[in-house]
A and B are shown apart, each in its own frame.
Chain A
Amino acid sequence: MYTAADLRKGLKVQIDGVPYIITDFDFSKPGKGQALYRCKMRSMITGNQLVQTYRSNDKFDKPDLEERKMQYLYCQGEEYHFMDTGNYEQLVIDKEHLGDNVNYMIDNMDMEVLFFQDKPIDVSMPMFVNLMVTKADPWAKGDTSGSDSKPVTVETGYVLQVPPFVEEGDKIQIDTRTGAYVTRVKE
Chain B
Amino acid sequence: MLDFQGLRFRAAFFHSLRSFFVRQQFLEVDTPIRQPLLLPELNIEPLASDGWFLQASPELCMKRMLAAGCSRIFQLCNCFRKGERGRLHLEEFTMLEWYRTDASYEDLMVDCEALLGSLLDDLEVIAPCAVFNEHLRVGDGQGWPNAAGARDGGSGRIISLQPPWDRLSVHEAFTRYSPVTIEQAMAADTFDAILVEYVEPNLGKDRPLFLYDYPVELGSLARSRAGNPQLAERFELYINGIELANGFSELTDSQEQRQRFERELERMDEERRQRSRMPERFLDDLAHLDRAAGIALGVDRLLMLLMGKQSVGEVVSFAPADF
Contact = CB atoms under 8 A, between A and B. Distances in A.
A180 B42 CA distance: 55
A141 interface: no
B124 to A, nearest CB: 29
Interface in B7-55: 41, 43-44
A34 B191 CA distance: 9
B196 A30 contact: yes
Contacts of A35: 43, 83-84
Contacts of B191: 33
Contacts of B243: 30-31
B192 A30 contact: yes
Interface in A16-48: 24, 26-36, 38
A32 B85 CA distance: 15
A124 interface: no
A36 B85 CA distance: 11
B314 interface: no
Interface in B174-194: 191-193
Given A28-B88, A38-B144, A33 B83 contact: no
B195 interface: yes
A24 B144 CA distance: 9
B206 interface: no
A35 B45 CA distance: 10
A53 interface: yes
Contact of A32 (B41, B89, B271): B41
- Of the four ranges (under 10, 10 to 19, 20 to 34, 35 or more), the interface on chain A belongs to 10 to 19
A32 B222 CA distance: 12
Contact of B246 (A26, A28, A32): A32
Given A26-B87, A27-B84, A27-B86, A33 B144 contact: no
A27 B43 contact: no
A111 interface: no
A30 B195 contact: yes
Interface in B218-267: 218-220, 236, 243, 246
Interface in B57-89: 83-89
Nearest to A8: B85
B152 interface: no
A145 interface: no
A33 B86 contact: no
A29 B89 contact: yes
B267 to A, nearest CB: 12
A34 B43 contact: yes
B290 interface: no
A178 interface: no
B44 A53 contact: no
A5 interface: yes
A26 B144 contact: yes
Given A27-B86, A28-B88, A57-B271, A34 B144 contact: no
A139 B145 CA distance: 49
A33 B89 contact: no
Interface of A: 5, 24, 26-36, 38, 53, 56-57
Interface of B: 41, 43-44, 83-89, 144, 191-193, 195-197, 200, 218-220, 236, 243, 246, 271
7 smallest CB-CB distances across A and B, nearest first, come from A27-B86, A33-B192, A31-B246, A34-B192, A26-B144, A28-B196, A5-B83
22 contacts: A5-B83, A24-B144, A26-B86, A26-B87, A27-B86, A29-B84, A29-B89, A30-B195, A30-B200, A30-B236, A31-B236, A32-B220, A32-B246, A33-B191, A33-B195, A35-B83, A36-B196, A38-B144, A38-B196, A53-B193, A53-B197, A57-B271
